[in-house]
Amino acid sequence: MSATRLRPGLWGLAVAACLLAAGLVALGTWQLQRRAWKHDLVARMDARLQAAAVPATGCPCEPYTRVFAAGAFAHDRETLVQAVTEAGPGFWVLTPLVGEGGAILINRGFVPRERRDPATRAAGQVAGPVRVTGLLRLTEPGGAFLRSNDPAGGRWYSRDVAGIAASRGLSGAAPYFVDADATPNPGGLPVGGLTVVAFPDNHLVYALTWFTLAAMVLGALAYTLRDALRSRNDRSA
C-alpha cells in the first residue's frame, strides 16, 4: 500500500483516537468535580451531625439534622420494619411520639427477631413523658428491592411514614421520622444510635482510571504513527 493511500486512514485513526482521549479526559475531569462536590457534602453533613439539636416539631430541616422531641410513646401503635444491621437481622421499632405539636414517628432502634414481641422487652416500653434526641430522616415509601410494603399483613420493608401513619390511624403525623440516638432504653432494647451515615468516595480512583486510559490511547496512537512512518521510510529507501 502506498503512502498516499495510507495517509487518509492514519488521519482518520488520529482524529478518532484524539476524540476518544478527549472524552476520557472529560470523564476524569468530571470525576474530580464530583470529588469536590462530595467533600463539600461530607463537610456540611459533619457540621449538621455535630450541631446542637433543634426542635423536631415543624422543623423544615435537612435530612440528618439533629433534633429533639418531647411527648409520650403510643406503644399500642408500634410498627416493626424489617432491618439488617451490624447487630444482625431483625426489626426497627417505630413508635409514635405524641406531643403538643402532634405525632412524630420515632425509630427507637433495633430489636432481634426473637424479641419482636413487645412482651419480651416490656422494660423498654417506657410510659409517661419522654424526650428523644436523634436524626431527622426522610420517609422511605414503597418498600425494599423486590418487596413492597404490605400494610394489611403488617409486613413493612421500609420506613414509609405516610403508609405507617395511615395504617395506625395517625392523622396529622409529621412527614418524616426520627432515628433515636444511642441513649440506652430500659432493659437494653430497642438499641438506638445505629444510623449509618457514609458516603463512598472513589472519585479520585475513577479520575485516575480515565486519565490513564486517555494516556494509553494517545500512547497507542503515537506508536502506530511512528510505526507507519518508519515503514514508509523503509519503502522509500
Residue range 20-38, pLDDT digits in tens: 999 999 999 999 999 999 9
Does one domain contain both 31 and 93? no
Does one domain contain both 154 and 206? no
Does one domain contain both 182 and 206? no
Confirm whether 52 is domain-assigned. Answer: no
Confirm whether 212 is domain-assigned. Answer: yes
Confirm whether 80 is domain-assigned. Answer: yes
Confirm whether 57 is domain-assigned. Answer: no
Does one domain contain both 114 and 87? yes
Residue 116 sits in a domain whose CATH number is 2.40.50
Does one domain contain both 158 and 90? yes
Confirm whether 148 is domain-assigned. Answer: yes
Give residue 9's pLDDT: 74
Q: How many domains does the chain have?
A: 2
Non-local (6+) Cβ contacts of 141 within 8 A are 158, 160, 161, 162, 163
Give residue 230's pLDDT: 79
Give residue 57's pLDDT: 84
For the chain, how big is the Rg over CA atoms in Å?
A: 29
Does one domain contain both 169 and 206? no
Confirm whether 130 is domain-assigned. Answer: yes
Does one domain contain both 207 and 115? no
**Cα 90 off chain centre by:** 20
Does one domain contain both 137 and 230? no
pTM comes to 0.81
Q: What does the block give as the cell for 164?
A: 405507617
Of 151, 166, 188, which residue sits at a domain end? 188
Give residue 167's pLDDT: 94
pLDDT in tens, the chain (237 residues): 444 444 667 888 889 999 999 999 999 999 999 999 999 999 999 988 999 999 998 777 789 999 999 999 999 999 999 999 988 999 999 999 999 888 999 999 999 999 999 999 999 999 999 999 999 999 999 888 888 999 999 999 999 999 999 999 998 899 999 999 999 999 999 999 999 988 899 999 999 999 999 999 999 999 988 887 777 766 665
Confirm whether 157 is domain-assigned. Answer: yes
Does one domain contain both 122 and 213? no
Domain that holds residue 229: 3-45+201-236
Does one domain contain both 184 and 205? no
Give residue 3's pLDDT: 43
Non-local (6+) Cβ contacts of 122 within 8 A are 187
Confirm whether 56 is domain-assigned. Answer: no
Does one domain contain both 34 and 69? no
Does one domain contain both 208 and 175? no
Residue 82 φ/ψ region, left for φ over 0, alpha for ψ in the -120 to 50 degree band, beta for the rest: beta
Half-sphere exposure of 196 (CA within 13 A, CB side): 9
